[in-house]
Amino acid sequence: MSAAITCRPMMAGEETAVCAMIERCFKTFVAPGYTPEGVREFLAYASPEPMAGRVRGGSFVLMAESGGVVAGMIEMRDHDHVSLLFVDAAFMRRGISRELLRWALGICRAARPDLQIVTVNSSPYAVPVYERLGFHALSPEQESNGIRYTPMALPL
């Protein structure tokens, strides 16, 4: 029997475990479609110290865990932009992304009651995931510093 999955805010000091999960997922699913420059750029962004700095600057991170293992995470910036959303391969297809987004949107709406849209710059791999979550593309795929992404939005 598998352990239950719980969601909670990331605590200071948990960035290393969260970023390790992100890196594993990224290298497996996203990095193969990026240039070496894009891989370096992403991994620099999704590392513990920059993440801790973004949280100190007002972003927030929610995590899903099971039996003490990081199963997934979402980072929100400015209460209207999904910066990162990853679910460990062992926990995919269990509704974790949907639950993390639902919880994050509750926090965003509480902070900004007039919020009408949430955005994300989706990797090519994640576009179908975001579409299932209700997002739609705002423009065709773009590339910046080797990172391929599609700007997407979720109307609220």
* pLDDT tens digits for range 42-100: 999 999 999 999 999 999 999 999 999 999 999 999 999 999 999 999 999 999 999 99
- Determine the pLDDT at residue 2: 58
Q: What's the whole-model pTM score?
A: 0.95
125/137 Cα distance (integer angstroms): 14
Q: What is the mean pLDDT of residues 11-38?
A: 96
Class of 5-112 in CATH: alpha beta
Domain ranges of the chain: 5-112
**Collapsed DSSP state (helix, strand, coil) of residue 9:** strand
100/138 Cα distance (integer angstroms): 23
Q: What share of the chain is helix, strand, coil (3-state, %, to 5)?
A: 40, 30, 30
Amino acid occupying residue 80: D
- Determine the pLDDT at residue 1: 38
- Determine the pLDDT at residue 3: 74
